[in-house]
Chain A
Amino acid sequence: MNEHQDPASSSGWVDYTDGNLPASQLAALEAHCEHCEACRDRRAKLLESHSRLIATGRRTAGEPVSDRSLHRVWDAVRFGIRRGGAVTRSEMAFDQLRSILVSMLGRTTTDKVLDSAADGGQGAPLFAANLTGIVDVLCGDKAARLVRRVAESVPEDLVA
């Protein structure tokens, strides 16, 4: 039976399981383990946990993230860069709405339409309904449906 004296600090053991322990320390640690059962046991435990963490960690890191999510993120980031400020997706919805309307109605009419849809300060639900009604009259129901979908995601504080 040999006297046990820790052959490595916690940091040394971590480097050992990572395969990063300097050669001289590695040799000393392994020589110690030859005759110390406690350290052999500890080494086996650490290596086993290490393997499980690597395997499970890799699997987790490989879990896919949906392309739609990544596209939404990039759209929002690009929008934020162009605007020069941090924006939430709901703010982006308002800009998106506006550019849809501009493409159909032109800038001047869009501003008038947005103003009258927001008139009365009733918040987002009424705004979406008002706007859909106006677009329906001006551009037909297909355009109105599109506008409604986008308008409903615009939060109240942006409408007021």
Chain B
Amino acid sequence: MREPLTEPWQPGLPDGSGEAEPLLAAFLAAGTEDSFAPLCRQLSPRMMRYFRMRGCDTALAEELTQDVLLTVFRHAGEVRNHSLFHGWLYRVARNLLLQQWRRARRGIDTIGLDTLGPNAREMTVQPDVPGRVFKDLIAALSPGEKEAVTLRFVEGLEYREIAAALDIPVGTVKWRVFSGKMKLALQPGAGEGK
């Protein structure tokens, strides 16, 4: 008997707040603060979630989000293919996060644990980490698999967007998602109903 397929995954905005492309186009046409506001409103929650899920506290997530958005304001016009805007956006976010991690690691001997960046914070127990359930679900995956499935299933990116964000081939993205899913299925708790 044919097994029913799961509900097809619709990439885009998981929170249902609409597509960014029309807002991007409107902003690029006008280039003003007013035209940037709707795009900013739409991207801010996604960016906040992105940084919070990766161990940043609220203040740091706000600062990094604002840096991403200012980068969008100044450089979004340089993204030639608008359909790759999200890939570019997440690459900017990722680079800022990596910079932050590097800074935190350099300061490791001189600053306290509570002021450290995401890497160190992840090691401490936090009861209300955003995305905790998802992070627990994918805990057994490799870092590359985690990043790929998170961008896919939380951020709702298409494979080519994930490839652009991580600067890897699409085939590698798909392989990571595939092997991540296979690993998930071998975890305790898998197959016990949905």
Q: Which residues of A contact B (CB under 8 A)?
A: 10-11, 13-14, 16-20, 30, 42-63, 65-66, 69-70, 72-74, 76-78, 80-82, 86, 88-89
Contacts and interface: CB of A to CB of B under 8 A. Distances in A.
B136 to A, nearest CB: 9
A19 B5 contact: yes
A9 to B, nearest CB: 9
A31 to B, nearest CB: 10
B37 to A, nearest CB: 7
Contacts of B24: none
B69 interface: yes
A32 to B, nearest CB: 12
A11 B171 CA distance: 7
Contacts of A73: 40, 44, 48, 62, 65-66, 69
Nearest to B189: A52
Contact of A43 (B3, B8, B73, B177): B3
| B interface SS class | helix
Chain B, interface residues (CB within 8 Å), range = 35 or more
B149 A53 contact: yes
A81 B33 contact: yes
Contacts of A16: 5
A80 B130 contact: no
B14 A57 contact: yes
B42 to A, nearest CB: 11
B19 interface: no
A69 B130 CA distance: 14
Contacts of B40: 73-74, 77
30 contacts: A10-B178, A11-B171, A13-B178, A14-B174, A14-B177, A14-B181, A18-B9, A19-B6, A19-B7, A45-B185, A46-B185, A49-B180, A49-B181, A49-B184, A50-B6, A51-B6, A52-B190, A56-B134, A57-B14, A57-B154, A60-B130, A60-B133, A62-B14, A69-B61, A70-B48, A77-B70, A80-B73, A86-B67, A89-B63, A89-B66
